[in-house]
Structure formats: structure tokens, C-alpha cells
Structure 1
């Protein structure tokens, strides 16, 4: 059975789409991404929260927004903060490496 990872950042333009792309090719892993800001490219939906096995947020503020907006749906869900600041471009090699090192424990 595959593991479903949902990556969240603010606007779903740089960090979370990079994470979705990086891990999409991993065997046994399904990925999705969304943003939590009102102007996000793709705003988080209840369906995405329900779909996910593990929700990986880039910063603590994202965890707070997730709980505020979707708290009722988070029972039994693993939510982890990756502590990755908004300092990177889409698919920037340094971001890819950071994601791989921080997400490793959630892939097995």
C-alpha cells in the first residue's frame, strides 16, 4: 500500500510543489501539495487533508493555519514541521537536497 504525503506551504508556488515533484517518483509514495494563504495557486481542501496519511508543512505558521482551518479533520493524522524557510526557488538544488534530508524519515 502506498503512503500519501501532502506538502503544504503558503502559496503553493515554490516549496510544496518542489516537494511534490521530488517525491512523486518514489516507489510506494503518492504526493500532493497545496497552499494555506488566500492567494495560493492551489488552496488546501478538506479532500486533500482526508486523503493524506502524512501532512508535511514547511513552517510552524503553516501548522497553526492547518489546525485553525482543518483541525476537525486532523484526528489521527501525522503532521510534521520541516522548518524550511521561504528562501528557495522552485526545484532549486539546495531546496531539493534539504527536502530529501528532512523528509527521509517519513518515506520508509
Structure 2
């Protein structure tokens, strides 16, 4: 399963998630951001690659749906509800991710 983590700028939350789940069995991970100045900006190819997109905030899901609807036919988007309050690899962020992400990866 290909899992794509998305936040605004791909600098803090989504790269942390990519690092945390990089070695999770049975999945491949990547991350991207929605803003023009994102480190890795989300592309239609990213969405075509992904089986599951995990976004940090509701507005990310809305933005992806608005911009990329034709690329979302077989993609499930899940909102994790993680605010932009953390630094890269912040232990509290890692803990949140470790609690919120695995239920979406199990049984796949």
C-alpha cells in the first residue's frame, strides 16, 4: 500500500510522519505539501501513486478535493486532525502520529 502524508508546507508534520512510518511493514510512504513554497509540492502524480492519503487538517482534504478531483477516484483521504503546532520530529507529534495513523494501516 502506498501512503501519502500531506500538510501545508511539507516541512514539519508530513515529513515527520514519513520518517515515523518509513519502516512500517507492507507500506511505502511519501509526503508532500499544498502551499506553493512547500519543500515537496503535491502533484497529480503523487495522488495517482497513493492508495491512502493522510492529511493533517480538514482544510487539506478540502483543498485536495477542490484541486485534484480527477485524481481521487481510487484514493481514500483521511483527516488526522493534527494542528500545525509542532517542530520536525517533536516527540509529542511522533506520539500523536503513532496513535492516529496505525488504525488506518492495519488490515491492508
Q: TM-score band (shorter)?
A: over 0.9
Residue in structure 1 matching 2:11, options 10, 13, 18:
13
Unpaired runs of 5+ residues, structure 2, are none
- Give the deviation of 1:76 after TM superposition: 2.4
Which digits, 9 at most, give the CA deviation of each residue in 1:72-93, with x for residues without a partner?
A: 1101211000000000000011
For residues 68 and 43 of structure 1, what CA distance do their matches in structure 2 show?
16
Structure 1 partner of 2:104: 106
Which position in structure 2 is the counterpart of 1:35?
33
Residue 99 of structure 1 and its aligned partner are, at CA, apart by 0.4
Distance in 2, Cα, partners of 1:20 & 1:38: 20
How many aligned residue pairs are there? 106
Q: Is there any run of 5+ residues in structure 1 with no aligned partner, and where?
A: none
CA RMSD between the two structures: 0.7
1:46-67 CA distance string (max 9 Å, x none): 1110000100000011001101
Inter-partner Cα distance in structure 1 for 2:97 and 2:79: 12
TM-score of the aligned structures, taking structure 1 as reference length: 0.95
After TM superposition, what 4+ stretches of structure 1 lie above 6 angstroms from structure 2?
none
- Structure-2-length-normalised TM-score: 0.95
